[in-house]
A and B are shown apart, each in its own frame.
Chain A
């Protein structure tokens, strides 16, 4: 046994798969320690992109540090791309105003172009072309209109006691800086937010945990049932074998996913918890295990050591447990791993159909994928809402399959 374990862990395939799985498992246990709130809290809004978010009021309240860093050009560079500079030149050309623009270089003279644009842009000039084309210039104007102002911004609060109705809070100059650490309200979204404004990373970690749980429960159930039926039917034989084979065949013939859908549909959504869904998946996934275990048992049951045990008068159960089970165990472990990975996929598929656990109580990989598709994440470029999920699913099944191949190499001498 010890030797077996050692050889197993010396197998690269198994080791890589196992490490991936352990890393994922660790992630699900460790990461939540550093997260605030529940993974289902709707903190952000629709598809906020990944990054560190700081509160804007907090930035104003925080102490300011004037620094001599050239900010204007950075702001300009961030706001005006070469295309946008070219767009402004296009406006000069199309508006047919008397403007000296031809010597300006859209790749270099951003500040001059913006200055000229701000000085001359007139919303009432109707350029030929589509309305969307014209609106592009209006939006551009709104985007750059404050870029070159040297006076900075004035922040006011409503105040009925003052004459203007407003009281000045502070002035923000272009050289003012704030240490992000001084802003009390911050939130870091490693993978942005999903369509409900939930932290995708937090949700993902919790979903991987849930998916692994579904896999383990469903895989255990399926393997246990398969093993029991396979061993009994293979060893006992006779009418018991006929009956069990017949039941197994029946379940093999019906696509198990169809039964899965029907069963999940008949369970009301409120009682569709992770465990219930895992049970349902487990109950539909056992037939192949049963069949293979049965055929292996059939080849084993007439071996000499089994016959000796039988002659010695041992009971059926004992013979199965001590003389047959150890020989099929290596296969069963491999089947178990495959069961786990297919159960995870089945949960994802079910959730995609809206038959999985409910959105408000659990985060699962399938639900995350389903919602991001409904909100057309691929179309609006919100990659963070679905690519990490797809990758996680792929990674889990990949690691399981690697482990399976590794075990196969260890236990199956012909492959060694």
Chain B
């Protein structure tokens, strides 16, 4: 039942942790340092 972390276990762990960490970092970078001159995207329901 108990086994030490296998190479496949390492892969799943690092991929999972790496992907959510990278996504979180990317999101906060975009939120905290937004581009200044980016126009609003077109769309919307109008008045």
- The answer to whether A and B assemble together is no
